[in-house]
Structure 1
Amino acid sequence: MADGGMPVRCPGCRREHLYVPPSLPCACGAMLTPPMARGAPPTPVTDRNWADEWVTVHCRPCGRPFQWPQPELDCACGAVLRLAVVPAPRVPRAPRAPAPPGRAFRPPPIRDARDTVTVAALYLRWLGFPDTRSAARRPPSGARITARGMLAQVDPGLRRTTARDIECLWLTAMTAAGETPVACAFFCLAGYTDEARTRADALRVPLFTVDLTGTPRPVNGAADELVATGA
């Protein structure tokens, strides 16, 4: 058995798999692995709900709680199995702080749309927004991530982001917290139309593209400023 792996039996076809939970970097640099509930039966996924697809994992070195992608396994029979995670203990939340200067972001590679959302959440934590989580209300395409003082949209699709996409995100951020607007940022794989970049510059919305290595790259001045200053 591979180190850290656990057996998982598909309740539909009864095939047995060996699941090794992934390790991803915390904003402090430590590698985190979700604590799997060994022996708990897997649950077939029939409906997708972004708000329910995250679990809380605590980083022991720095104490930060993070929303982590819910572990899943694809069976050869076509079933997608959701795997149980040991509930995170209630611990005091560490104060928010920007990432130390000079430390490079270490991204996981992009393999599917879910990975793109994960990269954006990790990058925001690295910038100083540790309490990222999936937004309850989804946009027409992609997903939204919220944090204290930040609303980000992630579009892993193959069409370029339009000016209307930027305007909808900005308007949502302006009304997300009642009388206290929050900052917003956009992450995408396919890039932006010229009109979208012009509109984002006017509204001061940071724009990032994400390549298949998982590296977010700023594409306008507002994004350069966010990277330079952090949260």
Structure 2
Amino acid sequence: MPSQAEKLEAHARHLLDAFIRLRERYSLLEPMLFDPEVPKLRGSGAQARGFLTLRHSLFLSCAQDIAKLTLDSDKRTPSIKGLMAALEDMTVCKTFEQRFAIWESPSVEIETDPEIIEALKRMEARQQAGRRAQFSEIMARLRGNWVTLSQEPYLAGFLTIRDKVAAHTEVHLVADKYQFVDIGTLGVKWSDIRRAIDTMQSIVEDLGLVIRNAGFAWEMLDEQLTRASKAFWSVPKSAA
């Protein structure tokens, strides 16, 4: 039976994987929203309907991912909310702090000179104190970013899109007619997707640091996604 720490590590790892997939989808959506050349070259004429369909599908997918990766409460589902709730347990948090701060030091084990051993122990104690302070800083930043994200008005809009448009299709009686949920009334802007992703990325990164003691090469991912997006949306020379 996996320990709670092992379960949280697995959830943090899968949260990262799912967030990367969200980043991949948004890298295709963003030029459709904010690069005027993309709709001009790929969203007009015979391609117009396909362009609008793809844009709508990517938007719904991104909105759904933001909602589920942020707010899902199911214990089987990796989410920021679930991991943050787990870290509020002081015993759990202390376990990860210990793992973050205390590293194996083989040099002490193989050393035989008592003075050198004591010097190495003092050095390790200072390093542990520094890592504990770093852990506290990360946790403070993590909690602050989570409070900010969880209170964003657009998050409720994304949740409504997930629950009533993307995952389920609800209709409501409006002026004697049954109609779909009007996304335009939810107060969600195109730019809110980018804002949510930016804050989520900081949180996902910090969760990886405190739970898995592992970072991620975000700059490399940015370069890869930018390159892939440009290749996808560029007009082939033969068609130019």
TM bin, normalised by shorter chain, reads under 0.3
Name the structure where helix makes up a greater proportion of residues: 2
So what's the TM-score if we normalise by structure 2?
0.18
Structure with bigger gyration radius: 2
So what's the TM-score if we normalise by structure 1?
0.18
Name the structure where strand makes up a greater proportion of residues: 1
Task: Flag the structure with more relative contact order, 1 or 2, with Cα contacts below 8 A and sequence separation at least 6.
Answer: 2
